[in-house]
Structure 1
């Protein structure tokens, strides 16, 4: 007896930002969708929890500058669709010798993105409480996205359009059934079939895709973030800041995680130690806390240099920090994002849906073949 037709057009494995965004995009295209997430809704085990991730237009790479434009459009569409706010636009600042603000300004100018290049004295006048020692790039189209709120909004709208969303459902095996279908088996032994499976499993991607697609090496690290209170909680929030010099740091308004006084979230970028999705310990490194506290004393005099909250999260990174977004048979691999993907979530969901519908890879640099060629 031959098997019946697949139960769904698309099965999405993982309901973090990328998986949830894919479900939203696919249901907007009229596709039948199942979403399988191993943890409960709102969990903090991956890379999509918390109330604040950076959105920005400034990149040294024209490819990503262009992508940020479409991503911002889609964030606005989500807010309209869901009737809720997930973006907080406060502007963005880039400074430090290794951040090369002049180069960033040239890239934004070429893309017609509004920006200003300021001397340090002018930047300090505009944003008291921050300290600068060189040119500062300001661009207004930057701020934060509420990661947990965005996941909830994506899934709520996908569910309203008929998506079958299953939390607490771990996928243990993905089996292609030729080129036109795939079977997923859960930890409980249940199965479902779909025409396409989108693996958006973040730090679990390698485990689920091993032997099925030629993934590049993906490095999982545990990052540490800290929240500091502002000396004047009633003041206007500062822009997000990316600063590269002796340390490579970022800071942003913390949202709910920043407490009732809207504290500041600060971290080193990509300074975490190697781990795995299932063996991370969730412990903050005291040396990292000391480095960030010293940084606050030197560069952020508008903060009280005593963290009131701290947390960890996971990065899943490629060797060159480019995304992975490609199809192999009925499987779509959806972007381990190397610590800079949250801002692109609705765009990645849109592109993953195009792949599931049979479209070409959206960017040659993101293909499995391109990553393999760099090994």
Structure 2
């Protein structure tokens, strides 16, 4: 279906969590918005699907904690509007060697951002969690209140539904091939592979792992975003301990600092299983990737056996699912105007590096601000500029890194 006679205030390309929440925010402000998706809505091919994502306010970078706190509030507001839950709250627990520079930076950020937290010795951790976590000597625990589990596919559907209720137009199976300036009317024209042409005053591009390909095709700019194939694993809890790992039993979302970075959630998605996964993956082409889960290695099995005192079967995962990251060299986001001939007519958002889903609502708010007002408030975007990689190929310098 073509909309050649109709112009939208904003066209949003990409209907994952970022694009869907952006479309909702724009429609909520009374603007006409078109949301385009290259595959079916709620597909399993990108980064916004699956059973769970974690939410936490513990970051080594000062600029993320406030974003998470705002996002947590916006998640609750959207839930209240839709009438069902996608955000399941629990505490969050970080752990690692006391000398780990990143974990030290996390604790410092908790102090500077006034995030309520408690630093625990291994003995205190064992007492706090009734032996469910056991830390070796030389490790430290960090307990914070803001944590939990987000339901990804359900959350994307929520924002799409809310956008439709506010008047947004949604179209899937619309693969974008061109974004060009509309010299006659101003704004831009979006052209899809089936020949449809859509006109908009402004445009937001949030296509996840396809960002690098699309932007290079549109204007020849090679963004430093590398798609990674990653594996999400669920491990079987031994029968006698199944209740120990439930939210209702006070079990938190968690992260373990070091090499590799391991994270997980309470038992929720699959009865009797717990999510324990490794942050990272292998470079891939989003259009030619393998769907086979990758082996995590003996380190993860050893970590599970030692941290959970033998309460979780550690030989191999019970369930393994594939997903993708969109990784930048510094693991910070890209949120900026595309520039060039497009000026401020096109805003890009990508490179969420495996820690962006929790930020979906606040990213949607920021992108709506940028595309409608040319600026945003409450978040410092200098860390997310496209131009930072021209100044330093590695991007933002992290004080806690060697």
* Other-structure match for 1:233: 242
**Does residue 1:143 correspond to 2:154, yes or no?**
no
* Other-structure match for 1:161: 166
* Other-structure match for 2:228: 221
**Does residue 1:172 correspond to 2:177, yes or no?**
yes
**Does residue 1:326 correspond to 2:336, yes or no?**
yes
Cα deviation digits, residues 305-326 of structure 1 (max 9, x gap)? 2421001111111111111111
Quickly say closer, same or farther: Cα 1:245–1:77, change in 2 above 3 A. Answer: same
- Structure 1 position 335, deviation (Å): 2.5
Choose 107-116 or 356-365, whichever is displaced more: 356-365
Could you list the runs of 5+ residues in structure 1 that have no partner in the other structure?
A: none
Cα deviation digits, residues 5-38 of structure 1 (max 9, x gap)? 8611111111111111101111111111111111
Q: Residues of 1 paired with 2:17 and 2:369: CA distance?
A: 17
* Other-structure match for 1:75: 75
TM-score, length-scaled by structure 1: 0.92
* Other-structure match for 2:206: 200
Root mean square deviation of aligned Cα: 2.1
Please tell me whether the aligned partners of residues 24 and 155 of structure 1 are also in contact (alpha carbons under 8 angstroms).
yes
* Other-structure match for 2:60: 60
Q: Residues of 2 paired with 1:82 and 1:27: CA distance?
A: 15
- Structure 1 position 246, deviation (Å): 4.0
* Other-structure match for 1:294: 302
Please tell me whether the aligned partners of residues 65 and 113 of structure 2 are also in contact (alpha carbons under 8 angstroms).
yes
* Other-structure match for 2:363: 348
Choose 170-179 or 276-285, whichever is displaced more: 170-179
SS for the counterpart of 2:321 is: strand
* Other-structure match for 1:132: 135
Q: Residues of 2 paired with 1:252 and 1:284: CA distance?
A: 19
Paired residues, what number? 368
Q: What is the aligned counterpart of 2:260 among 239, 247, 264?
A: 247
Could you list the runs of 5+ residues in structure 2 that have no partner in the other structure?
A: 394-402
Please tell me whether the aligned partners of residues 215 and 223 of structure 2 are also in contact (alpha carbons under 8 angstroms).
no
Please tell me whether the aligned partners of residues 57 and 142 of structure 1 are also in contact (alpha carbons under 8 angstroms).
yes
* Other-structure match for 1:7: 7
* Other-structure match for 1:370: 388
Q: Residues of 1 paired with 2:103 and 2:282: CA distance?
A: 28
Cα deviation digits, residues 43-65 of structure 1 (max 9, x gap)? 11111101211110111111111
- Structure 1 position 66, deviation (Å): 1.8
Cα deviation digits, residues 186-220 of structure 1 (max 9, x gap)? 12111111111111000111121115374531111
Q: What is the aligned counterpart of 1:152 among 157, 163, 169?
A: 157
SS for the counterpart of 2:177 is: strand
Quickly say closer, same or farther: Cα 1:158–1:254, change in 2 above 3 A. Answer: farther
* Other-structure match for 1:317: 327
- Structure 1 position 294, deviation (Å): 3.1
* Other-structure match for 2:49: 49
Please tell me whether the aligned partners of residues 176 and 331 of structure 1 are also in contact (alpha carbons under 8 angstroms).
no
* Other-structure match for 2:113: 111
Q: Residues of 1 paired with 2:227 and 2:330: CA distance?
A: 14
Please tell me whether the aligned partners of residues 175 and 184 of structure 1 are also in contact (alpha carbons under 8 angstroms).
yes
